[in-house]
């Protein structure tokens, strides 16, 4: 178990990374919508180039920072990783979001590379560009759910959590 | 809590509701991907085809 100071530091870093991740995905969504709907070719090009840079240098690092600090916070405190349903669900959602993000870095880079070379026509790569909007929207839903779970911490011990609780109560103090 | 109580324990209702909603959300996400061609891959070949650049 971590010291109280260590717990607060880990929690602070986790909140910073998670909220930063949510904010950067919101910025990504705004750029994805602008890239899809704006008529000005230069703005559209700028949007996709900015999306690639944002993904590579902000979203992906914050995503991993959130995952790592979340693991440290869970394992270093009495919350544990598999004791409470809300922690298990939050961890699952974070891992899923991380995998989906990593899978989608390639199409983001692809659209950005084309946009960097020359203007994109309105119809060009429309499915992929629409996909990026949908992905960012889904990511925001997941991250908002994670935030709500972290703040409300709904009750409910897992089977493992109940067994651990029983074992701890049985230990002589 | 003893073993008998442990066996009788029910998963909280919010977890069940959450699971159903999450499943629907995953299905919706999968359908959107299928309609957008996202599951054909995530590379240039997958997302390009007829929509890619004109020479």
Which ipTM value was assigned to this complex? 0.77
pLDDT for residue A48: 95
**Which tokens in the block code for residue A106?**
């390639």
Q: How far is CA A135 from the centre of its chain?
A: 12
Token pair listed for A13: 């870093």
**What integer pLDDT is reported at residue B37 of this predicted model?**
56
Nearest CB to A156 within list B15, B38, B52: B15
pLDDT computed for residue A169 by the predictor: 87
**pLDDT, tens digit, for every residue of B1-39?**
555 555 567 889 999 999 999 999 999 888 887 876 554
Q: Which residue in A95, A110, A111 has the most chain B C-beta atoms within 10 A of its own C-beta, making it the best mutation to test that interface?
A: A110
What was the pLDDT predicted at B52? 46
pLDDT level of residue B49 (50, 70, 90 thresholds): very low
B25 contacts in A (CB within 8 Å)?
138, 141
Residues of chain A under the 50 pLDDT cut: none
Q: pTM (2 decimals)?
A: 0.85
| A20, burial (CB in 10 Å: exposed 0-12, middle 13-18, buried 19+) | middle
pLDDT at residue B55, as a whole number: 39
């Amino acid at each position: 178990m971590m010291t109280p100071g260590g717990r607060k530091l880990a929690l602070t870093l986790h909140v910073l990374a998670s909220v930063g991740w949510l904010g950067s995905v919101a910025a990504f969504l705004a750029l994805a919508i602008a890239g899809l709907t704006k008529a000005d070719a230069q703005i559209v090009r700028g949007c996709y180039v900015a999306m690639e840079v944002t993904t590579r240098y902000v979203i992906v690092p914050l995503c991993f920072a959130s995952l790592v600090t979340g693991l440290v916070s869970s394992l270093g405190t009495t919350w544990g990783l598999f004791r409470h349903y809300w922690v298990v669900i939050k961890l699952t959602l974070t891992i899923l979001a991380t995998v989906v993000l990593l899978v989608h870095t390639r199409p983001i880079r692809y659209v950005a590379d084309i946009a960097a070379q020359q203007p994109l026509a309105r119809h060009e790569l429309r499915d992929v560009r629409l996909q990026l909007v949908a992905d960012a929207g889904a990511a925001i839903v997941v991250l908002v759910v994670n935030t709500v779970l972290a703040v409300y911490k709904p009750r409910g011990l897992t089977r493992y959590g109940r067994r651990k609780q029983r074992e701890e109560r049985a230990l002589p103090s | 809590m003893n073993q008998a109580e442990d066996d009788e324990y029910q998963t909280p209702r919010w977890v069940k509701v959450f699971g159903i909603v999450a499943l629907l959300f995953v299905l919706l996400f999968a359908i959107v991907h299928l309609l957008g061609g996202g599951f054909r891959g995530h590379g240039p070949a997958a997302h390009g085809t007829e929509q890619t650049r004109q020479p």
